[in-house]
Amino acid sequence: MNIKITGTGSCLPDNVVTNFDMAKIVETSDEWIRERTGIAERRISTGETVASLAAKACERALEMAGKSASEVDLIIVGTCSPELLLPCAACQVQASIGADKAVAFDLSAACSGFLFALNTAYSYIAAGIYKNALIVGSEVLSKLMDWSDRSTCVLFGDGAGAAFVEADELANDGKSGIISMVQGSDGAKGMVLSCGQRQVANPYIKENNLPYNNEEYMFSPYIKMNGQEVYKFATRQVPNCIKEALDKAQLTVEDIDLFVLHQANVRIIEAAAKRLKADISKFPMNLDRIGNMSSATIPVLLDELNRAGKIHKGDKLVLSGFGAGLTYGASVIVW
């Protein structure tokens, strides 16, 4: 038993913030941001939430799949920026779209969140536990940014993407659905990209005994990043895990029609293409228009490609995510 993606959907806030707008907030320039990242503009929430963006993306994916919310078995939302700790964003989505019989939970793997959610849904469906799933990447990263820190606030945007996946009983030939997957984590390097939540707090904690008390870098309510370390990690790990996934699938770089990578930075994507000796035209990008939306980048790009008719039945795709954790992964799928 394998899976097929039968619907995709996405939702972005209407508010467009250009590099020129950013230059009114922090000391930066369109030239600096474009050269270093490839980003020209991003969408920033004017009230949209992780749950509201996710729900809209799910409705669009269901509409494309020709399914109703009451038929959904499982909802997994990959997010690192939910508004609420409780209830989880997936349960909010369930209530919002009326998916009464679904099991719903969030998955926290930052920019790899959608890919890990896809692989989790695949595992449930392949095991025969559920017949279908809505998988989502949704982020409102603008609330995790220090808007006075030019080294991070220019990089990120808000948005959501979703896919509806269904059991494909015919696809047990190893030639369609998910052909291979590779996932990894490197927690020892986790603090190169971090964001604090609430610290341990109870009547028994002494002020000077807080676990993250000492280094400002270690505990901040905003995203902190060592950009160069993230760059090194991504440019090494992404091509490595893509190669591993291709080897497992007994395919080569040339066999792949599209490499749908997490949209963090154009230089990371170009470096990955170079290391793989792959044609850069096979690496679609949209980060110039919408920036880095963490878990949402892969499903939003997938939805854009799908709706533009750029993915055809039988096409071989590599999806690859990488980000905070550190986490990374690649899956080879046949559309």
| Window contacting ligand ACO (CB under 6 A); options: 31-39, 57-65, 115-123, 213-221 | 31-39
- When binding is defined by CB under 6 A, the residue of 267, 282, 289, 307 that contacts ligand ACO is 267
CB of 193 to ligand ACO, least distance (A): 6
Q: Which residues are catalytic?
A: 111, 262, 292
Contact 79, 109 (CB under 8 A): no
**For ligand ACO, what does the binding mask look like between residues 199 and 238, x meaning CB under 6 A?**
----------------------------xx-xx-------
- Report in angstroms how near the CB of residue 56 gets to ligand ACO at its nearest: 23
Q: Closer to ligand ACO by CB, 163 or 193: give it.
A: 193
Residue 28 interacting with ligand ACO (CB under 6 A): yes
- Binders of ligand ACO in range 68-107 (CB under 6 A): none
Q: Smallest distance, Å, CB 225 to ligand ACO?
A: 6
Q: Minimum distance between the CB of residue 326 and ligand ACO, rounded to whole angstroms?
A: 8
The binding track of 269-298 with respect to ligand ACO, each residue x by CB under 6 A or -, is -----------------------x------
* 193 forms part of the interface with ligand ACO (CB under 6 A): yes
Closest CA to 6 of 125, 161, 165, 117: 165
Q: Does 196 bind ligand ACO (CB under 6 A)?
A: no
- Judged by CB under 6 A, does residue 331 bind ligand ACO? no
Q: Whole-number minimum distance, CB 271 to ligand ACO, in Å?
A: 10
Q: Closer to ligand ACO at the Cβ: 189 or 267?
A: 267
Is residue 36 involved in binding ligand ACO (CB under 6 A)? yes
Pairing of strands 177-185, 327-334: antiparallel
Report the site for ligand ACO in 247-266 (rule: CB under 6 A): 264-265
Structure tokens at 168: 């494909």
Site residues, ligand ACO (CB under 6 A): 28, 32-33, 36-37, 111, 150-151, 154-155, 193, 227-228, 230-231, 264-265, 267, 292, 322-323
